[in-house]
Structure 1
Amino acid sequence: MKFIKILLLFGLISPFLSAQSLKKTDQQTLTWIRYYNILPITEKWAIHSEIDNRSFISPIHENLIALRVQGRYRIHKNIDLGSGFAYFNVNTQSSDVDPDYSVPEYRIQQDVTFINDIAKVTFHNRFQLEERFIQKANQTELLNIFSFSYRFRYRLQSTFDLWKKEKQSLKATISDEVMFNFGEDNKRNTFDQNRIYIALRYHFNPNIGLELGYLNSFQRRSSGVDFYDRDIIRVTFYHRINRRPKI
């Protein structure tokens, strides 16, 4: 627990410690619209997949499209393991910049999540490692080389019921996630970003849910001294495929 507290403290104070050398912080507003699918295979195994479209609001401009797929295994009632692959197609990181190409990124990810119920609140402690392959580019075109780096992510999330009746429910989620980069191409931005998220999710039934949330992302740019401060409205459609056992 001491290690977790140190990570959280470092993630929260790093932006403020860096403010002394801060050159520029770009304020941005985006929408993230996501479809999240859960396909149970057995009682312990499941496949999770998602498609995520992220866009700037003012002016309206595509940020990126992300695709993810991962296998998840419930090794214990309180421990969940995951491993998968993600593809990102990044159009631009600024609504004022419109390049003639999009930058692809390929990720391999692994995580372990500890799940605990305390006083009717479910807590998720997720430790995730990503191996990131990002194609390099100059001002006019993509280059035939990739950068490679690791990224460590820790997320503490709490979820609890606000209202529940028969198969319907209204849940609230509060989370904080801190990320750190490691690699030769990330010497100036070891601290990557901190994400604070609050959301409400309405379940029409146990298999269909719609979530609306607000996410603040404070992210250090590759320069090491510039930042993005992003206000994000996130909409997620959750879909669990109910596989009935064969008779």
Structure 2
Amino acid sequence: MKFLKISVLLLLSFFSNLSNSQQITDEKRQIWVGYITQSKFSDSFSIWNDFHWVPESFVIARTGLTYHFSNPLKTTSTVGYAHAWFYPTNQNKTFRPEHRVWGQTTFSHQKESFRFFHRIRYEARFRGVITDDFLQNEFNFNYRFRYLFQTRYYFKNPQKNQFFVMASDEILFNAGHEIKNAFRLDQNRISLGLGYQTKTMTFQLAYMNQLIESNNDYSFRMNHNIQLLIFHNFNLTKKTVK
């Protein structure tokens, strides 16, 4: 409990000071909707699918194959492909497509009513080039590395369905020869919210503060997101009839 409080306070203090000390050039309020599924077809493998939509910002669909390790940390590793569309900017009309090859590893652990979740994600990003509001037959390329830490506190409930509160922070870095200095901060996302979990589904409503660093200088954009995420687990394994 003490460790959780100290960690959350340090994270919030650090990124609050970061945002206050940097130049915020633009702020937006957005709605973020996501639907994430895991379809397990054997004891070791499942299919990952997720879809996210932020109106006037982006749409992304992601799929992948997940391997489930047999260990106390419930470790998983996933590899897959994603396709994104980014809305036009500055009164242009052309959407920017993006192809992503991605992979991630997750693990979690519990202490009493707390659940701690970690996710490390890698993305190879092929981003469409737009010139004079026309999509070109070429792509820019860079890597992105992401680390997410989330804590949930579950309220005691004699039933299987549970309410929880959550806090998370995800930090994202860009890398590659097209990135200034070859490695730099891309975004930081701090979320606070609450949720409801059943045997197969989880509903999570949160506020996300999204700090985005410019690719050209050290100014920032800030998005205030109201985020609704729905997680859905499917068990496709055959039950043995006794």
Shorter-chain TM-score range? 0.7 to 0.9
Partner of 1:30: 30
Partner of 1:106: 99
Partner of 2:200: 207
Q: CA deviation at 1:138?
A: 2.1
The number of residues matched between the two structures is 227
Partner of 1:69: 63
In the alignment, structure 1 segments of 5+ residues that lack a partner are 56-61
Partner of 1:132: 125
Partner of 1:82: 78
1:1-247 to structure 2, matched below 5 A, reads 12=15, 15=18, 19=22, 22=23, 25-55=25-55, 62-75=56-69, 76-78=71-73, 79-92=75-88, 97-187=90-180, 190-203=184-197, 205-243=198-236, 245=239, 247=241
Residues of 2 paired with 1:127 and 1:140: CA distance?
35
Residues of 2 paired with 1:17 and 1:53: CA distance?
28
Query: Is the CA contact 1:91–1:99 (under 8 Å) kept in the aligned structure 2?
Result: no
Q: Secondary structure at the match of 1:164?
A: coil
Q: CA deviation at 1:98?
A: 3.3
Query: Is the CA contact 1:14–1:191 (under 8 Å) kept in the aligned structure 2?
Result: no
Q: CA deviation at 1:47?
A: 1.3
Question: What is the RMSD computed on CA atoms of the aligned residues?
Answer: 2.5
Q: Deviations over 1:218-237 (max 9, x none)?
A: 01122223321110001122
Do the aligned partners of residues 15 and 144 (structure 1) sit closer, same or farther apart at CA in structure 2, a change above 3 Å counting?
Answer: farther
Residues of 2 paired with 1:16 and 1:211: CA distance?
26
Do the aligned partners of residues 25 and 15 (structure 1) sit closer, same or farther apart at CA in structure 2, a change above 3 Å counting?
Answer: farther
Residues of 2 paired with 1:87 and 1:187: CA distance?
25
Residues of 1 paired with 2:20 and 2:204: CA distance?
34
Q: CA deviation at 1:191?
A: 0.8
Query: Is the CA contact 1:172–1:199 (under 8 Å) kept in the aligned structure 2?
Result: yes
Q: CA deviation at 1:38?
A: 1.7
TM-score calculated relative to the size of structure 1: 0.82
Q: CA deviation at 1:35?
A: 1.5
Fraction of identical pairs, as percent: 24
State the AA in 2 paired with 1:193. Answer: Q
Query: Is the CA contact 2:113–2:155 (under 8 Å) kept in the aligned structure 1?
Result: no
TM-score calculated relative to the size of structure 2: 0.84
In the alignment, structure 2 segments of 5+ residues that lack a partner are 1-6
